[in-house]
Structure 1
């Protein structure tokens, strides 16, 4: 009698630990769609320039004593424009530009309302707001040094809003004149930054010097592979902010 065949041993897969679930590797199936948009920063800096020149001219006495409401209505569009710029900058994944434009937008809105309505203690409250904004701009300047156009605007905005806060809180006439002069300087710097960035977008290269460094220069001169590096870690792609 021939021996009966023995059953072949079955290959068993290692059991998964209880309570753990392994997902398949989804990287080959993942696609990230980017929607290219035009840079909104020229509009944002133009709005900063216009509002700064109007407010600075009022503080220097270029308008009459009853021009507060007219100034308020004139700088109100800066709030709308910079709010739109902020939304677009968030969509372009530029958190520095988006945060700066959003805070500028809120500051112009508050200034416009206080100038138009003249509420009790409005000047003191506006002084505290300007002081907080100056501190925020100083903090942003410490991390925006590679984006030279934004960094230079911030370097002028810090003393302008700090001196403006001093004028609002103390009422010293000299502080008002100095704040107005710094406002005109901020307007000139923001106008230059807006024009330089607009020319850069139109020509596809730097025309007027704005001093881009590091990642800011790579963002303009680097190829597509450099632009997509570490994109899985950016906000809107990763799971948590």
Structure 2
């Protein structure tokens, strides 16, 4: 049955959700002048981890706490900036991780610099909570292998640091420092690999992406537009 204007009848929408079969004809791409901020974020993790790990391993003197605090403070600024840029790039995992890392570095820097009463145990609780957070993040970040490897090392590093802060057992400090240097090595590799990939337009060092993280780099436009109508900023509510 046609309408009075002679138009073809409207097809009833199927039950449930309605998806556009192909969004490419109606899609316009606006490029934003933003590069990937993740190399900066991982480099900041690496540098701060080396400084704190060196302190825990006894490479610095007992009076170096304030110097270490001032040295790791820039990591807070850099990773906070990375978090803001990652939110703008719609990467919620990277943005959340970098924001929480930046807050942890800020708190650690302030406690080391001011040395308030009970600060060590409070810092231990903070490290323990961050270790739990990193474990939760690792459980959903397997397909973003660079981030996943960093998180897999960050979990034991912050967990051991928490135990040292809460118990004061000296050998835990050395173990935490060793994990800190390992975290720095993994973060440095991830940062360098991502930077090379961005500069050359192809993967140079293996990162191990899979699933959506792989198709985001290797997939065509149709893959990128899949489920676009349900993305943040397009759907009605978050």
TM-score (norm 1): 0.86
Q: Deviations over 1:10-52 (max 9, x none)?
A: x9xxxxxxxxxxxxxxx99886755352100000000000000
Q: Deviations over 1:62-90 (max 9, x none)?
A: 00110000000000000000000000000
1:216 aligns with 2:220: no
1:56 is matched with which residue? 53
How far the C-alpha of 1:235 sits from its partner, in A, is: 1.5
1:178 aligns with 2:168: no
Match of 1:106 among 100, 103, 107: 103
1:190 is matched with which residue? 187
CA distance change for structure 1 residues 150 and 29 in 2, over 3 Å: closer, same or farther? Answer: closer
1:74 aligns with 2:84: no
How far the C-alpha of 1:236 sits from its partner, in A, is: 2.2
**Inter-partner Cα distance in structure 2 for 1:60 and 1:72:** 16
How far the C-alpha of 1:204 sits from its partner, in A, is: 1.2
How far the C-alpha of 1:233 sits from its partner, in A, is: 1.3
Match of 2:225 among 221, 228, 239: 228
Count of aligned pairs: 216
**Inter-partner Cα distance in structure 1 for 2:39 and 2:177:** 23
1:24 is matched with which residue? none
Runs of 4+ deviating beyond 3 Å = 27-34
**Inter-partner Cα distance in structure 2 for 1:29 and 1:43:** 35
In structure 2, stretches of 5+ residues that fail to align are 5-22
Match of 2:134 among 132, 137, 141: 137
In structure 1, stretches of 5+ residues that fail to align are 1-10, 12-26
2:150 is matched with which residue? 153
Cα RMSD between the aligned structures?
1.7
**Inter-partner Cα distance in structure 1 for 2:227 and 2:209:** 21
- Aligned pairs (5 A) from 1:107-126: 107-126=104-123
**Inter-partner Cα distance in structure 2 for 1:139 and 1:163:** 17
Match of 1:90 among 64, 87, 90: 87
SS in 2 for 1:90: helix
1:5 is matched with which residue? none
**Inter-partner Cα distance in structure 1 for 2:186 and 2:141:** 16
**Inter-partner Cα distance in structure 2 for 1:100 and 1:203:** 26
1:46 aligns with 2:33: no
Structure with max Cα Rg: 1
